Amino acid sequence: MTNSIFDKQQLSALFEELNKVNSILIFGHKSPDGDSIGSTLGLFHYLKNKGIKSQVIHPDNYPGFLKWMPENESMLIFDKKKKEVTELIEKADVIFTLDFNDQTRVGNELGKLIANATCTKVMLDHHQEPGDYAKYTFSDVKSCSTCQLVYELIEANEDLDLIDEDIGNCIYTGLLTDTGSFRFPATTPKTHLIAADLMERGVNHSKIHEHIQDINTTDRLRLLGYTLNNKLEVLPEIKTAIVSLTMQEMKDHNTLKGYTEGFVNMALSILGIEVAVFVKEDEKIVKLSFRSKGDIPVNEFSKAHFGGGGHINAAGGASQLSVQETIDKIKKELPAFLEQNK
């Protein structure tokens, strides 16, 4: 059905290597999402079922709504265990990078450690413009998620029967979160066939939706209410909506990690709006999230003006300016960009 990115010869060479070595590390990206945690743990469980030991590592902590995932407690967080992770990288035989394709996406410090490692590297990812650092590059920029690619890797290895409930739960989570519950354009018939197959293999889809979506606390709902009421700016002339939050505002609402997830999609859901931006003040930078409908390449806008990237309809970036100055810059640059990309 899909044109597989998995070359049989390449795969068997990789697995021959994996079977010989002692230390395999699997990295996901900074500010881990469902696809990063799901794909790394999904691969971890698959390798385990094949008798291959590995260690999953993420750069920083992840939201509470992902903390139910099987074996998530065995993952190492670089921010908390710098010495241990540094030593592991020095000794590693194989490093997997999942759900990112550019070593800066794990942060500068960890990115340098991975870049300096001379071991075998494997990239499995679906973002645009893959970097050229891996011995084995499995990149499909059309795929909805890295979790779909983990499934397709297992399929190409003729190992679908090794998929148990743990692997299924992990893969289903990434499919769900990266497709916005199977609604973004990158969702294909194959995505649904994979979801169906995972259900047949024991995945309780309903429970996963509950874990991921029924996660509101009173504080989060009040933060959302505050944001939509006070911090939503709609610009009908350029079919754009901007939401923003400062650190102080988030502090005032007892904001925890993951609370602002999805706010940008709410802005995009306004009738007639085609571009949504979330401008969020962080400790050292202002973080930007872009979303769009149709063919508007927000990744290119973010790359041109905010050193970022991502997908056509979902991208991120950063700004050194204040929140207000960042909003002003968006308002200044976006109209011409939209005009050029009509």
Residue 300, binding choice from Mn ion, ligand 5GP, none, Cβ under 5 to 8 Å by partner class: none
Residue 319, binding choice from Mn ion, ligand 5GP, none, Cβ under 5 to 8 Å by partner class: none
Contacts with ligand 5GP, residue ranges (CB under 6 A): 127, 289, 308-311, 314-318
With tokens 């099987």, the residue in question is: 70
Residue 42, binding choice from ligand 5GP, Mn ion, none, Cβ under 5 to 8 Å by partner class: none
Assign 48 to helix, strand or coil.
Answer: helix
Closest approach of ligand 5GP to the CB of residue 318, in Å: 6
What is the crossing angle of helices 323-340 and 298-306, to 10°?
A: 130
Assign 133 to helix, strand or coil.
Answer: coil
Residue 45: name the closest of 171, 158, 200 by CA.
171
Residues 97, 248: Cα–Cα separation, whole Å: 35
Q: Count residues contacting Mn ion (CB under 5 A)?
A: 4
CB 42 within 8 A of CB 69: no
Closest approach of Mn ion to the CB of residue 245, in Å: 24
Nearer to Mn ion by Cβ, of 35 and 281: the residue is 35
CB 141 within 8 A of CB 128: yes
Assign 262 to helix, strand or coil.
Answer: coil
- 43: how many CB neighbours lie within 10 A of its CB? 28
Nearer to ligand 5GP by Cβ, of 11 and 312: the residue is 312
Nearer to ligand 5GP by Cβ, of 36 and 54: the residue is 36
Task: Compute the 3-state secondary structure of the chain and give helix, strand, coil in percent, each to the nearest 5.
Answer: 45, 15, 35
Please pick, from the candidates 140, 152, 166, 178, the single residue that binds Mn ion as defined by CB under 5 A.
Answer: 178
Please pick, from the candidates 99, 152, 249, 261, the single residue that binds Mn ion as defined by CB under 5 A.
Answer: 99
Question: Cα–Cα distances in Å, from 2 out to 88, 190, 223, 278?
Answer: 36, 8, 42, 34
Residue 317, binding choice from ligand 5GP, Mn ion, none, Cβ under 5 to 8 Å by partner class: ligand 5GP
DSSP 132: S
Closest approach of ligand 5GP to the CB of residue 326, in Å: 14
Closest approach of Mn ion to the CB of residue 100, in Å: 8
Residue 44's Cβ-count burial label (10 Å; 0-12, 13-18, 19+) is buried
Quick check: 152 binds Mn ion (CB under 5 A)?
A: no
Closest approach of ligand 5GP to the CB of residue 257, in Å: 13
Length of the chain (residues): 342
Residue 17: name the closest of 61, 46, 47, 59 by CA.
47
Closest approach of ligand 5GP to the CB of residue 106, in Å: 11
Residue 28, binding choice from ligand 5GP, Mn ion, none, Cβ under 5 to 8 Å by partner class: none
Residue 289, binding choice from Mn ion, ligand 5GP, none, Cβ under 5 to 8 Å by partner class: ligand 5GP
Residues 240, 56: Cα–Cα separation, whole Å: 39
Residue 308, binding choice from Mn ion, ligand 5GP, none, Cβ under 5 to 8 Å by partner class: ligand 5GP
Q: Facing residues of 241 across strands?
A: 234, 276
Q: Which stretch binds Mn ion (CB under 5 A): 112-120, 171-179, 218-226, 283-291?
A: 171-179
Residue 121, binding choice from ligand 5GP, Mn ion, none, Cβ under 5 to 8 Å by partner class: none
Q: Which residues are CB-neighbours of 76 under 8 A, at least 6 positions away?
A: 55, 56, 57, 58, 84, 85, 88
Closest approach of ligand 5GP to the CB of residue 248, in Å: 21
Residue nearest to ligand 5GP (CB): 316
Quick check: 35 binds Mn ion (CB under 5 A)?
A: yes
Quick check: 261 binds Mn ion (CB under 5 A)?
A: no
Residues near Mn ion (CB under 5 A) are 35, 99, 146, 178
